[in-house]
Amino acid sequence: MFRLAAILHLFIGSTLAGSGVIAALVSGFDTLYGISIAAALGFLASFPITLLVARKLTVQQ
């Protein structure tokens, strides 16, 4: 499951980090500090989401 989670995290992490950057720019936080914080929060939020998706994909039925 670790390999699957690592691959999924590449895509989920970059998607959420990019969404955070776009949300920051739309909200008017156009400084380097605001953009960096938004990207870091999106990246950190992707860890639990990645684990949830990986578990759902590997459930034995």
pTM over 0.75: yes
Element (H, E) at 32: helix 32-57
Which residue do the tokens 């970059």 mark?
Answer: 14
- Per residue in 3-30, pLDDT (tens digit) is 999 999 999 999 999 999 999 999 999 9
Percent above pLDDT 70 for the chain:
97
Q: How many Å apart are CA 12 and CA 8, to the nearest integer?
A: 6
